[in-house]
Amino acid sequence: MSNSKKIQTNQPSTNQQWGGRFSEATDAFVASFTASIHFDHRLYRHDINGSIAHAKMLTKVGILTAAESDSIITGLQEIADEIASGKIEWSIALEDIHMNIEARLTDKIGIAGKKLHTGRSRNDQVATDIRLYLRDQINAILFAITRVQQALTELACQEANTIMPGFTHLQTAQPVTFGHHLMAWYEMLERDYSRLEDCQRRMNQCPLGAAALAGTTYPIDRHYTAQALNFDQPTGNSLDSVSDRDFAIEFTAAASIIMMHLSRMSEELIIWTSAQFNFIDLPDRFCTGSSIMPQKKNPDVPELIRGKTGRVYGHLNALLTLMKAQPLAYNKDNQEDKEPLFDTVDTLLGCLRAYGDMIPAIRANRDIMCEAARKGFATATDLADYLVKKGVAFRDAHEIVGQSVAYALKKQQDLSELSLEELQQFSTVITSDVYNVLTLEGSVSARNHFGGTAPSQVIEATNRAQNNLSKRLATLSEVE
């Protein structure tokens, strides 16, 4: 779209498409201040597609002749090509994308162009355009999420046996596998995908035909128009049709949750790349250096994504605030819905692309991860479970393990490094088989159930995920 953003400002102030009511021209500053063509020109394809469907419907019900309809449709298609090639200069005097296209159409084909707006308003027109736009963008975002999930499942499969500490309160809790941790990220994105599907399904109703707010006296066929634009059905109330922006708020809320998940992932990547952890390496192409400290390698991509999360949160708050006190039906306030929405889409797609590129490039420092898991008595819970299985009450087992950990701390050893005799001083039920659960490998392998961290379970989880993603990609290809 960068080649079609030329804006004309030295034009008559009054919009001649609606200026008949007015006795003086709109102030030049007001014309610029109230215009939206600076940003809503990105809706041009959706505006033209909606206009083509509207023209076909007007022909079906006898308002336009076949010749007029053909002229309008051909003209609109030519305008789409002109815009795509950067030949259109947008006019602030014409305010928005709708008036700019309609004026250009009238210039090209004459009076038939003026008939296109019969039975509709810019109010239902823009509501339709935004839904068409967002529906397409959600498809692109769903594809981008799937790409990140593919990368996660492939890396998780490679790291199914890589042991690392699992944390609660950012303190070592129990050993897990790196592959299991990555599949937790996959599950976050799976919920995100589902939320966007729900959002897309709810928004897939067509406002066209609601006109300004009350509908129209012309014998329009709203079901025909909805079907032509691949909506499930027309919206059910004309007042609500032109004033509803729930779908934009719902999308931005879903986008905020996705960004929250990406931010959590980013936080972990940032921690893991630090010298204090050194769990992973990120290639240089995803990092930058310092202008003063030559040794620095900064994880700028995850840091920036973490920062952009606040940006999207802000857009959600902006849209909620925009709508909170609006009476029915349409108000000029709603012009402010587009920039937050557009930026949310752009930001989210950019962040997902970065993750889709970055995840496959992660390299695990496996030995360092495993050594870190040894340092925090990560198998203490396993020892407690072992005692319970030997008939010790859990609360007693908990105290025995606590005493064992205190003893090991004094000796600066891990539980697995204590001798059998040393362990038996805390409980006589402990026998030599205790070392099967005190090792990190034994601990993770013991969690061998659906959703557990055992390597075999991680492999099964990645297989299920990859099968799901393959089916999904076939569906997304059909949508495209």
Domain definitions of the chain by residue range: 2-118, 123-371, 380-438
Nearest in space to 116 (alpha carbons), one of 207, 54, 45, 46? 54
Classify 123-371 by CATH class. Answer: mainly alpha
Give me the mean pLDDT over the 143-171 stretch: 97
Question: How many other CB atoms sit within 10 Å of the CB of residue 283?
Answer: 10
Of the candidates 169, 419, 432, 449, the residue annotated as catalytic is: 169
Q: pLDDT confidence of 475, banded at 50, 70, 90?
A: confident
Q: Which amino acid is at 105?
A: L
Count of residues in the chain: 480
Say what the pTM is: 0.91
- The average pLDDT across 220-236 equals 98
Token duo for residue 452: 């557990």
Q: What is the mean pLDDT of the chain?
A: 92
Fold of 380-438: Ribonucleotide Reductase Protein R1; domain 1 (1.10.40)
Q: What is the pLDDT of residues 340-350, one digit of tens each?
A: 999 999 999 99
46 has catalytic annotation: no
**Percentage of the chain surpassing pLDDT 90?**
84
User: 35 near 95, Cβ under 8 Å?
Assistant: yes
Quote the DSSP letter at residue 333.
Answer: G
Mean of the pLDDT values across residues 376-390?
Answer: 91
Contact in structure between 225 and 128 (CB atoms under 8 Å): no
Q: How many CA atoms lie within 13 A of 270 on its CB side?
A: 15
241 is catalytic: no
Task: Report the distance separating Cα 167 and Cα 171, nearest Å.
Answer: 5
Question: What's the mean pLDDT in 430-442?
Answer: 91
258-294: per-residue pLDDT in tens?
Answer: 999 999 999 999 999 999 999 999 988 887 766 566 5
Overall average pLDDT of the 232-242 stretch: 98
Confidence band (pLDDT; 50, 70, 90) for 1? very low
| Long-range CB contacts (within 8 A, 24+) of 390-394 | 390/429, 390/430, 391/429, 392/427, 392/429
479: closest CA among 39, 141, 84? 141
CATH superfamily placement of domain 2-118? Fumarase/aspartase (N-terminal domain) (1.10.275.10)
CA atoms within 13 A on the CB side of 32: 7
Residue 446 scores a pLDDT above 50: yes
Q: What is the average pLDDT across 234-245?
A: 98
Please report which helix (H) or strand (E) contains residue 164, including its range: strand 163-168
For 62-154, list the strands marked E by DSSP: 90-91
Residue of 85, 194, 274, 290 marked active site: 290
The pLDDT tens digits of the residues spanning 8-34 come to 654 544 455 545 555 566 678 888 888
Q: What is the pLDDT of residue 3?
A: 44
149-159: average pLDDT: 98
Element containing residue 356 per DSSP (H, E): helix 338-358
From 28, 51, 208, select the one nearest 116 (Cα to Cα). Answer: 51
Average pLDDT over residues 101-126: 97
Question: How many Å apart are CA 163 and CA 248, to the nearest integer?
Answer: 42
pLDDT at 46: 98
Task: Return the closest-CA partner of residue 345 out of 136, 195, 97.
Answer: 136
The tokens describing 19, both together, are 């200026």
